[in-house]
Amino acid sequence: MLSDGPVVTRFAPSPTGRLHLGHAVSAIRAHDYARERGGRFLLRIEDIDGTRSRPEFVAGILEDLTWLGLRWDSLVFQSERLATYDVALEALKARGLVYPCFCTRAEIAASASAPQGDVGPVYPGICRGLSADEVAARAHLAHCWRLDMAKAVAVTGVLAWHDAIAGTVVADPLAQGDVVLARKDAPASYHLAVTLDDAAQGVTDVVRGVDLFTVTDVHRVLQALLGLPVPAYHHHPLVVDAAGRRLAKRDGALSLAEMRDGGEDGVALAARVRSG
């Protein structure tokens, strides 16, 4: 675990759309946790999805957070850190802990042997046992790099992490399967990038939604494999709509920009979030 010192939190949105109330809650919680303890609040733009990230959404994020009355101590873009992700991936390759996967998303979803996890189908290991010759024959095809979770766990042994509400959590990374660490259209997956970024920025406390609770097991494995510090975690409840579904850009959740255009006061909205 991280040693005692100044609290550092972060908010790390992807510039693939406008922020909504769910994002605002996470940003406010992370901001206030740091400020109440005399710490630092960082803003990180997760912009390595080259097909969906857009400059106007970056500008929108800055505008929305300012409207809420939040201020950040530093601003970092993931697209400036690609070399760091490459180094970590190559280190894992050298240890034989990752393998190339040539399966499409449709093939994985259609596989009868693919169990359902918390965030979708768990990869059934179709490409895990490919021989060197088979990999070479497919090298011209698009592929991603997956973490061989069984091998990784054999190296790390039993791991745990701490959540502010759940307490000590014994990690069960095998339940997440062989997760993707990089693919052609994304030089680092969320798992690899967020783990490396949090460590590089000295984040002591990760404040995020409970939808990411179980994938923290994956991040704990990567921390152990790469010799990275382990932050404390604070997984908060999600904001849901009238039907009980979490707010999402793809479902047309009302954006903060739309709330602002409708006459909402951002500072007053943040105050309501804080009060309950």
Confidence check: pLDDT of 173 > 60: yes
Same-domain pairing of 7 and 130: no
Q: Are residues 117 and 220 in the same domain?
A: yes
Q: What is the model's pLDDT at position 52? A: 86
Q: 110: closest CA among 126, 98, 131, 99?
A: 126
Q: Are residues 158 and 108 in the same domain?
A: yes
User: Across residues 232-244, what is the average pLDDT?
Assistant: 85
Structure tokens at 78: 């993931």
- Mark whether 85 and 32 lie in a shared domain: no
> Does the structure show a pLDDT above 70 at 252?
no
Q: Which of 93, 151, 184, 249 is catalytic?
A: 249
Indicate if 74 and 85 belong to the same structural domain: no
> Is the Cα torsion angle 102, 45, 55, 215 positive or negative in sign?
positive
Domain match, 94 and 169 both = yes
Question: Active-site residue 249, yes or no?
Answer: yes
Instruction: Look at residues 157, 164, 171, 270 and name the one whose alpha carbon lies nearest to residue 216.
Output: 171
- State whether 75 and 142 are in the same domain: no
Dist. CA 252–CA 80, nearest whole Å: 30
For the chain, the domain total comes to 2
Q: Which two tokens stand for residue 46?
A: 């997760």
Q: Are residues 33 and 139 in the same domain?
A: no
Task: Look over the chain and give the mean of its residue pLDDT values, rounded to a whole number.
Answer: 92
Instruction: For residue 161, give its domain range.
Output: 81-199+213-229
Instruction: Read off the tokens for 125.
Output: 């290991």
Task: Please check whether residue 206 lies inside any domain of the structure.
Answer: no
Which 3 state secondary structure label does DSSP give 87? helix
pLDDT in tens, 119-163: 567 898 999 999 999 999 998 888 999 999 999 999 999 999 999
Find how far residue 248's CA is from the centre of its chain: 15
Mean predicted confidence (pLDDT) in 246-266: 84
pLDDT band at 20 (very low <50, low <70, confident <90, very high): very high
User: What pLDDT does residue 117 have?
Assistant: 52
Q: Could you tell me if 113 and 223 lie in one domain?
A: yes
Question: The whole model's pTM is what?
Answer: 0.91
Indicate whether 92 and 171 sit together in one domain: yes
Q: CATH number of the domain that 60 lies in?
A: 3.40.50.620
pLDDT band at 104 (very low <50, low <70, confident <90, very high): confident
Q: How far apart are alpha carbons 58 and 13 in whole angstroms?
A: 9
Nearest to 266 by CA among 57, 52, 31: 31
pLDDT tens digit sequence for 57-85: 999 999 999 999 999 999 999 999 999 99
192 shares a domain with 92:
yes
Are 11 and 40 contacting, i.e. CB atoms less than 8 angstroms apart? no
Least confident residue range of 85-94, 131-140, 204-213: 131-140
**Residue 67 belongs to a domain:** yes
**Owner of token pair 């967020």:** 194
- pLDDT over 70 (residue 238): yes
Q: Average of pLDDT values for 49-55?
A: 87
Cβ–Cβ under 8 Å, residues 203 and 10 = yes
For residue 111, what pLDDT is reported? 72
Is residue 118 predicted with pLDDT exceeding 80?
A: no
Shared domain for 92 and 225, answered yes or no, is yes
